[in-house]
């Protein structure tokens, strides 16, 4: 939790420094790239590791989809930024649990809302510090010599920094770094009929994105992201049995189209 607070403090300090120099309006190419409704497909790789008593781990391919909408510029507030995004991915992951093979299905759902205030920089770039909040679920269902599996869900709160660069009149590349606290989490282990709360942990994400404006309305976009997060274990509320902590790492590539507005 201290790391997240430190990150948010540095984010606020950085925004104040940039805001002191931000008298220019956003580049038109960046405003177009950041003001779209988008839909895309995801393909990537995931791995997970659950602690005792499941002691399960696995790796495998993930496929999914992303839906989102963003806007840069609201009337007189030319650099105000808002974004909402929903990501879904799922896949079969082969691994082991308590020294026996486990062939499991992992399903991930994440919704995040981001609100920020961008600052135009020299050369047509734009830096956008933002705050973020959302919700995620992770369901792992596996099988082997005995049933393995757990369901995780939690809220997300934190912030990030996005940098947009114009590579041409219709081409924008972006880099983002984001740090979120995983809060109010819960863990359910169906095979044990056990559930309980998870303590605050962290989620980190870095991504690279590109947007190409095909015409006055349509865009094509692509992205590459790396996300890591963890859930802390604990004791079940009903029987006092141990609930498994877990870590998940996901690498994703995204391709899609967007409608500008």
pLDDT tens per residue across span 159-181 = 999 999 999 999 999 999 999 99
The pLDDT of residue 21: 44
Cα separation, 141 vs 158, in Å, equals: 29
Q: Are 67 and 42 in contact (CB under 8 A)?
A: no
pTM score of the predicted model: 0.85
What does the pLDDT read at residue 54? 63
What pLDDT is stored for residue 93 in this prediction? 82
The helix or strand, by DSSP H or E, that contains position 30, with its residue range, turns out to be helix 28-33
Say how far apart CA 44 and CA 61 lie, in whole Å.
6
Q: How many C-beta atoms lie closer than 10 Å to residue 48's C-beta?
A: 23
pLDDT (tens digit, 0 to 9) for every residue of the chain, 261 residues total?
545 555 555 555 555 444 444 445 679 999 999 999 999 999 999 998 877 666 778 899 999 999 999 999 998 898 999 999 999 999 988 876 665 566 778 899 999 999 999 999 988 899 999 999 999 999 987 655 455 678 999 999 999 999 999 999 999 999 999 999 999 999 888 877 788 888 899 999 999 999 999 999 999 999 999 999 998 887 777 666 677 788 899 999 999 999 999
CATH fold of the domain at 2-253: Lipocalin (2.40.128)
pLDDT at 6: 56
* Model pLDDT, residue 236: 76
Neighbours of 86 (CB within 10 A): 14
Structure tokens at 181: 């606290």
Residue 241 is given by DSSP the state P
pLDDT of residue 31: 95
State the pLDDT at residue 239: 63
User: What are the pLDDT digits (tens) for 219-250?
Assistant: 999 999 999 999 888 777 766 667 778 889 99
Least Cα distance to 135 among 161, 121, 154 occurs for 154
């Amino acid at each position: 939790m201290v790391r997240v607070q430190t990150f948010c403090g540095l984010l606020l300090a950085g925004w104040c420094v940039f805001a002191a120099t931000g008298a220019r309006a956003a580049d038109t190419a960046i405003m177009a790239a950041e003001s779209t409704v988008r839909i895309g497909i995801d393909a990537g790789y995931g791995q997970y590791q659950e602690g005792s008593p499941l002691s399960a781990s696995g790796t495998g391919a993930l496929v999914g989809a992303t839906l989102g909408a963003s806007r840069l510029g609201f009337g007189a507030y030319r650099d105000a930024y808002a974004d909402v995004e929903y990501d879904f991915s799922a896949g079969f992951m082969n691994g082991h649990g308590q020294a026996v093979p486990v062939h499991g299905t992992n399903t991930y759902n994440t919704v995040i809302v981001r609100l920020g205030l961008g600052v135009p920089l020299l050369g047509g770039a734009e830096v956008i510090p933002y705050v973020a909040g959302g919700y995620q679920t992770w369901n792992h269902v596996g099988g082997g010599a005995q049933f393995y599996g757990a369901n995780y869900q939690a809220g997300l709160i934190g912030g990030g920094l996005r940098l947009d660069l114009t590579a041409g009149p219709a081409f924008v590349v972006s880099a983002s770094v984001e740090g979120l606290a995983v809060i109010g989490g819960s863990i359910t282990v169906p095979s044990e009929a056990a559930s309980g709360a998870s303590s605050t942990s962290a989620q980190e994400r870095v991504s690279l994105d590109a947007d190409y404006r095909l015409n006055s309305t349509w865009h094509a976009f692509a992205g590459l992201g790396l996300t890591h997060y963890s859930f802390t274990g604990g004791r079940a509320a009903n029987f006092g049995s141990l609930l498994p902590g877990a870590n998940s790492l996901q690498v994703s590539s995204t391709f899609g189209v967007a409608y500008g507005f």
